[in-house]
Amino acid sequence: MFTGIIEDVGTVEAIDRRAEALVVTIHSEEIAPELGDSVAVNGPCLTVVEVDRAAQTFTVEVTPETYRRTTLEELGPDSPVNLESALALSDELGGHLVTGHVDGTGVVTDLRREEKARIYSIRPPADVLPYLAPKGSVAIDGVSLTVVDVDRTFRVSITDFTEEETLLRETSVGDAVNIEVDVIARYLERLAGSGETGSGDLMEKLASMEGRQ
């Protein structure tokens, strides 16, 4: 598990493409994982398979499923990446519970400034929309953010500090981003009968369950 609070923006040192899979070596001066550790790289949770302490690098593998569902296929040498180490039970939860299991990719459709923040409008895949709600949590490229509102797109407000300290500082209109919805929303949608009754029946379903207690 992660919190969506980025610890470092690392740099891709080398990348080995293997059909629909990747082996990526990343340089970071802030995090130093051990073999077998989990690290969130632009959102997806990846396993560390090699460590070079002297070079301050670690290597992770990207499986075909992660390759297909995320923007990691766009990585190349010198690409910047958001990095976060896995959460320990004793750590402070500064963002929200993030699993590192990306639900899909969205496209940034608009960027505009609002005082000391920037508003990002993002168009998600249609099957991700039911899991997004105003004031709910979402992770964008691994960054924990709060949803402002939702229509065909959704908007998030990003402080100048968060933008400057993460990969979001390089995000432009038309760019693809990794989206992970709040894990609680996933289970609520499942409880409501996702794919059968739809998310609109959630309150009725919960009321029915409460009435049987």
For residue 23, the domain's CATH number is: 2.40.30.20
For residues 176-185, average pLDDT: 92
Residue 210 lies in a domain: no
- Which tens digits make up the pLDDT trace of 35-45? 999 999 999 99
- For 46, the domain range is 8-85
Instruction: Give yes or no for a contact between 11 and 34, defined as CB atoms under 8 angstroms apart.
Output: no
* pLDDT value, residue 168: 94
User: Do 129 and 81 fall within a single domain?
Assistant: no
User: Do 54 and 110 fall within a single domain?
Assistant: no
Instruction: Give yes or no for a contact between 139 and 101, defined as CB atoms under 8 angstroms apart.
Output: no
pTM for the predicted model, two decimal places: 0.85
User: Do 61 and 110 fall within a single domain?
Assistant: no
Better pLDDT: 114 or 39: 39
User: Do 22 and 81 fall within a single domain?
Assistant: yes
Residue 204 lies in a domain: no
> How large a percentage of the chain has pLDDT more than 90?
73
Residue 94 lies in a domain: no
User: Is the pLDDT confidence value at 143 over 60?
Assistant: yes
Residue 137 lies in a domain: yes
Residue 200 lies in a domain: no
Residue 79 lies in a domain: yes
Residue 199 lies in a domain: no
Rounded to 10 degrees, the C-alpha dihedral 46/51/57/59 comes to -30
The two tokens of residue 44 are: 């997806």
* pLDDT value, residue 212: 46
Mean pLDDT score across all residues of the chain: 88
Confidence bin at 171 (pLDDT 50/70/90): very high
User: Do 71 and 15 fall within a single domain?
Assistant: yes
For residues 95-102, average pLDDT: 86
Residue 68 lies in a domain: yes
Distance CA 155, CA 138 (A): 10
- Which tens digits make up the pLDDT trace of 43-98? 999 999 999 999 999 999 999 999 999 999 999 999 999 999 998 766 666 678 88
Counting the structural domains of the chain, the total is 2
